[in-house]
Amino acid sequence: MTILSQNLTISVAPNASTHRIDRRVYGQFAEHLGRCVYEGLWVGPDSEIPNKNGLRKDSIAALRQIKVPVVRWPGGCFADEYHWLKGVGPERQPMVNNHWGGVIEPNVFGTHEYFELLNQLDAEAYINGNLGSGTVQEMTDWIEYMTLESTSPMAELRKSHGRVQPWKIEFFGVGNENWGCGGNMPPEHYASLYRQYQTYVRNYGDNHIQKIACGPNADDYDWTNVVMASAGEYMDMLSLHYYTIPTGDFSAKGPALDFDEQEWHDTLAQTRRMEELISRHSAIMDIHDPGKRVGLAVDEWGTWYDVEPGTNPGFLFQQNTIRDALVAAINLNIFHRHADRVRMANIAQMVNVLQAMLLTDGPALIKTPTYHVFDLYSDHQDADYVPTVGDLGEQGDCTVSHKDDAYTISLVNAGLDHEIGAAVQLPGQISEVLRAQGITGATHTSHNTFDAPDAVSPADLDGLRVDGRHLRVTLPPRSVATVRVSLVE
Ligand code: AHR
């Protein structure tokens, strides 16, 4: 095995511009799709699976550990077919989930259940409204139902359904993928509708809603330009969707498990495109919004593979390997670097769909390698980004942040056959190592199963050395590590 050794020097120049890493880049996405909401989160109060008010306790406990800051719901493509009134009150009205397998959506999980989920997770609301097939009236009524305290038809309806106090909505999306499943609109048409609909997304009482406009699909720079020019002043954020597809071809994406080393490299190359996409969309946004008032919300990202053989093609169920852990870490590092513009990101999706945190099978639940990266990275939430000098070679990557008088350093080795010896120089003497953990896979397809749930799980770092201002870490192939240190005052 060749041992590469490169030095990474961390230096915080006195006037280096830095920015806060918004905790919301660790956001999640939960759509009415496959077994994400039903089974993954919601089992109902009468289920034998241990639950609190219908939400499974094991999922909630695991998700609380990674400090989920915000949950985007109810879609996705589902959002532009969702009619919220069918999902409140004692008589729920089923509908067909046209996008996702054509199954019957019972609407048992609706607005009240969503806010119960947020309550149990201690997370913020990001609701995606229906612009594609819903009316302005329907959207404004929903906002009134959720957030108006005083007497009004919608507030009274909410109260009659057992909720007296209004809820808070921090973020509201006005349509989803309106260039595609949300209405196949050209950007000019969407921008006009966005201006109209957002007018009626009102703030009641002290609730302040940040409005999120539908942004581009991957590298559709024209969409960003047109929507920003026409409607930029009416939005707080613009979304961006980009999925990592190993082949780059939606019709034959590649398997989640049975992939070769070339597909490993192709996948990581596809995921690194996120850096260019954010840079170029952000540069267009700069033309219309040089002060960076409008944030970029990468509210759908992650790997998208062919579904697991034998599963419903409309349910988007896929396994999750150490490759997904690397994808997660590389994307989070990119979001950190661009956190002056990227104020939210929502990985798709939280449970049992695409690049999930958790997989369930009846009462059993496993944490994926991606989950463990979110855990290893949790100290970066709301920390100050620390620019670094130096690099870890072609396959290496790193990110550093500072919070609560400690530095968190996360290091990535995406190589398949070499270690990286990383020397990290801090701006002062290291006094204490507060955390030093990492994950790796025995092979490039290592993953967790219901029989071997901890095949890929965090372990204390071997061979970590502290030497004055230096930290020396050996990163095995296919690994992600985090070290958190405090310095002598
Ligand atoms: O996450 C799955 C789907 O991907 C979402 O519903 C849609 O917005 C996107 O195309």
Q: What is the pLDDT of residue 3?
A: 42
Distance separating alpha carbons of residues 398 and 386, to the nearest angstrom:
11
| CA-wise closest residue to 401 among 376, 421, 373, 382 | 382
Distance separating alpha carbons of residues 364 and 430, to the nearest angstrom:
42
Q: What is the pLDDT of residue 18?
A: 82
Q: Tokens standing for 159? A: 């109260």
Contact 377, 482 (CB under 8 A): yes
Type of residue numbered 329: A
Instruction: Give the E-state strand segments of 225-264 in sequence order.
Output: 237-244
Parallel, antiparallel or unpaired: strands 95-97 and 103-105:
antiparallel
| CA-wise closest residue to 73 among 360, 331, 353 | 353
From 178, 181, 350, 354, mutation site for ligand 1 pocket: most ligand atoms within 8 A of C-beta = 181
Distance separating alpha carbons of residues 479 and 460, to the nearest angstrom:
13
- Ligand 1 binding pocket includes 346 (Cβ within 6 Å): no
Closest protein CA for atom 8 of ligand 1: 76
CA distances from 154 to 140, 161, 223 (A): 10, 11, 35
Which pTM was predicted?
0.97
Atom of ligand 1 nearest to the CA of 300: 1
Residue with tokens 């040089």: 290
- Ligand 1 binding pocket includes 80 (Cβ within 6 Å): no
Distance separating alpha carbons of residues 307 and 263, to the nearest angstrom:
16
Contact 384, 21 (CB under 8 A): yes
Q: What is the pLDDT of residue 12?
A: 63
Residues catalogued as catalytic = 177, 300
Q: From the first residue on, what is the mean pLDDT of each consecutive set of 10 residues in the chain (489 residues)?
A: 52 68 98 98 98 98 98 98 98 97 97 98 98 98 97 96 98 98 98 98 96 98 98 98 97 97 98 98 98 98 97 97 98 97 98 98 98 98 91 91 94 94 90 97 98 98 91 94 94
Q: Tokens standing for 36? A: 């994400």
Distance separating alpha carbons of residues 97 and 275, to the nearest angstrom:
34
Measured in residues, the chain has a length of 489
- What contacts 489, CB < 8 A, 6 or more positions away? none
Q: What is the pLDDT of residue 32?
A: 98
